[in-house]
Amino acid sequence: MSIQMLNDRYQVIRTLGAGGFGETYLAEDSYMPSKRLCVVKQLRPIQNNPQIYQLVQERFQREAAILEELGGTTDQIPALYAYFSANDQFYLVQEWIEGDTLTAKLQQQGLLTESAIQELLINLLPVLEYVHSQHIVHRDIKPDNIILRHRDGKPVLIDFGAVRESMGTVVNSQGNPTSSIVIGTPGYMPSEQAAGRPVYSSDLYSLGLTAIYLLTGRQPQQLEIDSQTGEMIWRQYASHISSILASVLDRAIAYHPRDRYSTARVMLDSLQSINTPVAPTQPYFAPPQPTVPVAPQVSVSGNNQKGILLGSVIAGGLIGASVIAGLVFTRPSQPVAEQNITSPVKSITVTPVVTPNSVVSQSPVTTPPIVQPPIQKINPPTSPSITSTPIDVNTTDNNYFWLSQRAVTDADLNGKNGYALDIMRNSIFARHGRRFDTQGLQNYFNNQPWYNPRYSPKDFPVRLLTRVEQRNVDYIAAYQKRYNLRHFK
């Protein structure tokens, strides 16, 4: 191909791909001082018909506007720079993502680990959730259409089939627009999509098969199908992964849409429950709650029933009084900010002494529930004198993956002690493989199953942090400084 200038602006460097819908080029934007690289996609209608051309042009403009909105909201979808038409051809100009496709990654490094698959899905599902919220089905999710960006390792979703579908629109015999082609890739495309009726869970199906390919090295066409259920048989090729993750993927690739996850959010919540039982939007460090031992529920009847019942009531009252006194005169283990808490204490069953003259009955004797009085509002601490019990470093339930997805707020931080905040802030670095000079931090993250240390503290590349992650690190640090809440010095 000869070097050419498109739209008197985009200098073509080389051809990236070609197909029935047109060609894709890598080009330089000659209007920008940086000569930034971009991807130019040439799209053309299948038929040379004036009616078709007008219809395609209208849909092309609408789809370009959708892509502009999608790319402007998340950095995991390439930004749309421009669109134009020339010589009866349509062109899209998009951001150039420097990285490797998942296909190339597999060829370079071999099969992905379970933790790598979990991280991949946790990073992609929020993107799909947003795309679906805009009433768009991608329709062509596969390893070749997901790029791991070099600068931060984040997966970027490319090549939206919605635009390509508009290029295949024709008018039927009744004069109504319809689609003459099926968008998708054989093997990664579910049956309803092959029939021209894709739904949101069609994308989850394709994403699930993508994960299975990365775990097994087998394309969907290489997997057997259960003749009775239509489900794919793949687990024997991935015996190294947990049954929980396998169940998540099985549900994602279920033959019928009704058996799959209804939304990307539901699949994300199920996936995060593997290592994070608490919902990602809630704080993972809960303050310890006072507990009252509850004895076995045994009650008596007989000659001494009335006396024992009276003794049980008195004993229950004494225990209840001691609980209230303990709550009143004991400083709370963590500050409670901007909230009133009225939590009833469970009713206490008292174990009476069973004498030879007593007859055991089946009806438990319990005292009425004791209601805890409201706790006075306490502002965030201003000195390190108020602390709470440190978290067990052997816990594996606190990975704070959501800190890479949304901005942290004071509501997420209120009530946490210095130890919890230090873990929370440093988990952002740990997720990218940083080691720590502080032994307490290193010990904690060494016990997290997702932790894969790769960088020393001095060699850690800060550029790995996304904008939201860097913002969250700074926000938590400022909060800790404001209230003097630091555990590790």
Question: Any catalytic annotation for residue 226?
Answer: no
Beta strands 146-149; 22-29: pairing state? unpaired
Between the alpha carbon of residue 194 and those of residues 186, 187, 312, the distances in Å are 8, 10, 70
- Type and span of the H or E element at 192: helix 191-194
- Reference 125, options 114, 113, 141; nearest CA is 141
> Given 29, 140, 159, 422, which residue is catalytic?
140
Using the structure block, give the residue that is written with the tokens 């496709």: 101
d(CA 270, CA 377): 35
d(CA 56, CA 450): 47
Beta bridge partners of 22: 19
- Reference 90, options 164, 16, 31; nearest CA is 164
d(CA 425, CA 423): 6
DSSP character at residue 398: -
Cβ count within 10 A of residue 107: 11
Which amino acid would we find at residue 331? Answer: R
Which amino acid would we find at residue 182? Answer: V
Using the structure block, give the residue that is written with the tokens 């004036």: 50
Do 137 and 183 contact (CB within 8 A), yes or no?
Answer: no
- Type and span of the H or E element at 50: helix 50-73
Task: Name residues whose C-beta falls within 8 Å of residue 311's C-beta, 6 or more positions apart in sequence.
Answer: 352
- Reference 64, options 76, 37, 88, 82; nearest CA is 82
- Reference 449, options 374, 383, 396; nearest CA is 396
Say whether 489 counts as a known binding-site residue: no
d(CA 115, CA 406): 21
**Rounded to 5 degrees, what angle do the CA atoms 8, 6, 182 make?**
150
- Type and span of the H or E element at 11: strand 10-19
Task: Name residues whose C-beta falls within 8 Å of residue 375's C-beta, 6 or more positions apart in sequence.
Answer: 327, 332, 336, 340, 341
Beta strands 80-86; 10-19: pairing state? unpaired
d(CA 106, CA 402): 27
Dump the DSSP string for 213-260: HHHH---GGGSEE-TTT--EE-GGG-TTS-HHHHHHHHHHT-SSGGGS
Do 424 and 488 contact (CB within 8 A), yes or no?
Answer: no
Please give the annotated binding residues for ATP, written as ranges. 41
- Annotated active-site positions, please? 140
